[in-house]
Structure 1
Amino acid sequence: MSNSVTMTVNGQSVTRDIEPRTLLVQLLRDILGMTGTHVGCDTSQCGACVVHVDGRSVKSCTMLAAQAQGATVTTIEGLAASDGKLHPMQEAFREHHALQCGFCTPGMIMSAIDLVQRHPNPDEDTVRHELEGNICRCTGYHNIVKAVMAGAQAMRG
C-alpha cells in the first residue's frame, strides 16, 4: 500500500508515492537523495536530522513524510543561494571553525537558524539552552556557540 505525498522541498515541488510509515528523513535521504540531512540515532536524541518544515525546525526522524503533505521543507542543501553564496549561519560556522567531523553540522545549522528567527539577539545561555537537543561529539560546543552568535548578528544585518 502506498500514498502519494506532495510538498515543496528546497523550492521545488515534489510528489512521490511512499509507504505510510515512511519517515520524512527517509524521503529526503533515500528517495530524494538529499543526504545532507543526517541520521544519527533514529530516536530524536541527537538532532542530526533537523530540517525546517514551514519555517520551523523539526527532527525529521520523528515525523512521517505524510505529515509534511503540502508543507514547505528546507534542508541544509536549500540554504545556500543559487550562486553558491552560503547562508549567513553556514558562513559563521565555517568562519568560526564550528565543526570538526561535520556530522552534526547540518542539524546544528538548521536548529540555529530557527533559534535566531525566534530569538534575534540571543545571549550565550539562550544559545546553549536552545541547542540542547543537538549533540556534537567532537567540538565541546564553544565554537558552535560563537558561530551561532556571529550568525545571529549577520542574519540581523
Structure 2
Amino acid sequence: MRYFTKQQGQKEAVPVDLESQGQGRYRLTLNGKTFQVDALSLEHGSLSLLVDGQSYNIEFEENGDEIGTLVRGQVNRTDVADERRLRMRAAAGGFTVEGRQVILAPMPGKVVKVLVKVGDEVTEGQGLVVVEAMKMENELKSPKAGKVTEVFAKEGTPVENNAKLVVVE
C-alpha cells in the first residue's frame, strides 16, 4: 500500500510503500531505500519496532489525518494519506461527491467499531467505521452527506483490502 507523508516544514509529501509480509513483518520503502520492519503492539497503543536490527518504541497520537509520534524522546507530527485520500483532497475544492458511495477497507485489518446503521443520516466527514490495521485505528469517514443504505462491516471481524464496509447514498 502506498502512503504519502508530510512532516511539519516539508514542502511536498513523500511516498512511503508498505507491504505486509505476515506475522507482524513489513517491507517499508522510503526515499528509494527498503527496510525490513518487525512490529509488536504494546500496551496503551504503542509499538515496538525492529527496523533493520535497530529497536524503537513508538507512542502514537492520532488527530484526523495527522499522527503524532514519540520516538526516542522526540515528538514528530506527520500528515499521512493514502493515494485515494490524497486524490480526494486535491479534488475537494473542485467538486462534491454525488451518487452512491461505497466505503472500502483501505488495507487488511479488523473492524473495531461500526459507528452507523442502515437508515442513519450522515454528514460529509462523519465517521462511519473504525478499522484497525498495523496496530493503528483508522476512522473511515463519509465522503458526502447522505443516508446509510447498507452496512457490511461487523465489529470484531477481519476485512481484506478493498472489502465493502458501508454504502452512503
TM-score tier after normalising by the smaller chain length: under 0.3
Larger radius of gyration: 2
The answer to which structure has the higher helix fraction is 1
